[in-house]
Every structure is written in C-alpha cells, then in structure tokens.
Amino acid sequence: MSKYQIVIDTNVWIAALRSRRGASYKLLTLIDSRQFEVNISVPLVLEYEDAAKRLIGEIPLTERDIDDILDYTCRMANHRKIFYLWRPFLKDPKDDMVLELAVTSRCDFIVTYNQSDFQGVEQFGLSAVTPKVFLQIIGVLP
C-alpha cells in the first residue's frame, strides 16, 4: 500500500513550534516515521521560515533552532516544483499556493487548522483535515 501524501499548512507547522503538547507537534515528530510523506515547495518553506522567525521571542526557540527544524523538514520531505497554477481558486493566495503544491504532489490530504479556507479542494481528490484527524486516519491517535 502506498503512503499517504500530505502538505502541511503553515498554521500547523507554526502550532508545532508553539507547543509540544498538540497534534501538530506529534505530526512533525512523525515526519520520518514512513507512515506518510510530506511534500514541500520553495515558496512554502519560505513561508514557514518567515512565519516562524516572526515569533522569535514569543516561542522558546532561537533563529538557529528554527533553521535546524526547517533543514530537517526539507531533508525528510519530497521537494516539488509547481508548473501549473490554479489561481485564483481559494480566497487567500497563500492557500492557493498550498493547493497547487498538493495537486502537483498528488496529495491525499492538506493538513490544516483552516479547513473552511480550503472549501472545494475535494474536486482535486483532496481532503482538508486537522492534524488530529490525520493522526487518527493513520492510526496514531484513537
């Protein structure tokens, strides 16, 4: 059976940096578990970096820590180039970027806390789910 292909929305990635208690953190700790594959693009990684570094001082991580987590994410994920744009499809252009990556990567899921922002992605064969729901799907949480 093939592994689930996912894109992790920035809000989930940032939530994992804010707290070690939630489903977002658990999801990031499982990136190398071989239970699923994460897909990234240069624009998404740059967005992760920008959002995370704006939180320095609010979260218990240094700039170097954030760089190390980004490097780890980049090492473990599938790197994708986006050649076809679906814009505008969603309300937020940053969400369109996530959708385009998910379509290019033939993903099963967009893991996000903003499911309502991804209304209509079902027509691309995608589901927008929270980290908790995704962890339940792969059997990590009951």
Half-sphere exposure of 63 (CA within 13 A, CB side): 3
Q: CA 27, 52, 141: angle at the middle one, nearest 5? A: 15
Q: Is the pLDDT of residue 142 over 90?
A: no
Q: Structural domain boundaries of the chain?
A: 4-137
Taking CA atoms, 79 is separated from 59, 83, 110, 129, in Å, by 27, 13, 16, 22
Give the three-state DSSP class for 62. Answer: coil
pLDDT for 86 equals 62
Cβ neighbours, 10 Å, residue 82: 16
- With pLDDT > 70 as the criterion, what percentage of the chain qualifies? 96
C-alpha–C-alpha distance, residues 84 and 103, integer Å = 9
Each residue's pLDDT tens digit, 102-111:
999 999 999 9
Which CATH superfamily, name and number, covers 4-137?
5'-nuclease (3.40.50.1010)
Each residue's pLDDT tens digit, 11-62:
999 999 999 999 999 999 999 998 999 999 999 999 999 999 999 999 999 9
Bridge partner residues of 8 (DSSP): 111
